[in-house]
Structure 1
Amino acid sequence: MGNRSPDVDEWFAAYDNPQRDLVLAVRAAVLDADDRVSETIKWKAPTFVYKGNIASFYPKTKTHASLMFHRGAEIPDPDGLLEGEGDVSRVARFLDADDLEVKRLALQQLIRAWIALQDGEG
C-alpha cells in the first residue's frame, strides 16, 4: 500500500518482540482503514497520523499489541474497543491474531471516525 513508510519498515526490521507479527497485523489493519492515514516514527514507535497524531504503538509490551490513541476520548467508540478513563488518551489492546480479527472492524471504524472529526464531519 502507498501509505506505508520506509522508516517504519526499517523500525520493524529491527523490532525484536514476541508480538511482532501481531503488531504488524494491527499496522496493516490501521493503514487499510483509509489511504489518507500515514505513519511515521515518533516517540521511538510507529505512529499513525492524519491531520494530527491518531495512535502510537507501545512497543515494549510483550504479551499483546497495545495501540494508544492520543486523543481517544474524543473519538466515538460505539463498540467499546478503547480502554481508559482519562480526559484525553485511550488504549486498544489486541491479545492475538484471533482477537484482532474480532476487533478489526471496530478498529477501522475508530480510524475513520478520527478522519471524520478532523474533516469536520463528526
Structure 2
Amino acid sequence: MNKNSVVDDWFKNYDNPMKELVQAVREAILAADERIEETIKWQAPTFVYRGNLASFFPKAKKHASLMFHKGKFIPGDFPNLEGDGKEARSMKFTSFDDLEAKKEELAAIVIAWCDQQEMK
C-alpha cells in the first residue's frame, strides 16, 4: 500500500463527520492495485498513476465523494460511476456498508485505470 505521509498529515487536520469513511475509501483504493499512489492536489487527497485518477471532495458532510477526473474514459461497466459531464464522473459512499457493497467495483475501476495507463 503506497500511503504518503503528506496525505497522512492532511487527514490529521481533516475535520469532517465522514473522516473515518473517507479514510476507509482511501485504504480500499490503495489496496486495489500496487501501482496506485496518493498525493495532495487541489487541497485534497488525489490518487494517481501516470495521471490523475480521482480526488476526494473534502467538503461533503453526508457521504464520502470521489471525483474521477477522466471517469468517462475508464474502460469497463461501472454502474456506480455517476454523471454525464464531458469527462468527470463521481462515486459516493454513504456508509461503511455502502463502501463494502461497492468495494469490488471500486477496485475494478482502479485496476482498469492502471491497466489503461500502461497501454499508453
Q: Which residue of 1 aligns with 2:26?
A: 27
- Please report the TM-score for the alignment, with normalisation by the length of structure 1: 0.95
Query: Residues 35-87 of structure 1: CA distance to partner in whole angstroms, max 9, x if unpaired?
Result: 11100000000000000000000000000000000000001242311000011
- Please report the TM-score for the alignment, with normalisation by the length of structure 2: 0.97
- Please list every run of 5 or more consecutive structure 2 residues that lacks an aligned counterpart in the other structure: none
Q: CA deviation at 1:109?
A: 0.1
C-alpha contact (below 8 Å) 2:78/2:109 kept by paired residues: no
Q: Which residue of 1 aligns with 2:13?
A: 14
Q: Which residue of 2 aligns with 1:90?
A: 89
Secondary structure of 1:8's aligned partner = helix
Q: Which residue of 2 aligns with 1:120?
A: 119
Q: CA deviation at 1:102?
A: 0.1
Secondary structure of 1:119's aligned partner = helix
**Alignment root-mean-square deviation, CA:** 1.0
Q: Distance in 1 between matches of 2:10 and 2:84?
A: 31
Matched letter for residue 69 of structure 1? F
Matched letter for residue 117 of structure 1? Q
Structure 1 segments, 4+ long, off by >4 Å, are none
Q: Which residue of 2 aligns with 1:67?
A: 66
Q: Share of identical aligned residues, percent? A: 53
User: How many residue pairs end up in the alignment?
Assistant: 120
- Please list every run of 5 or more consecutive structure 1 residues that lacks an aligned counterpart in the other structure: none
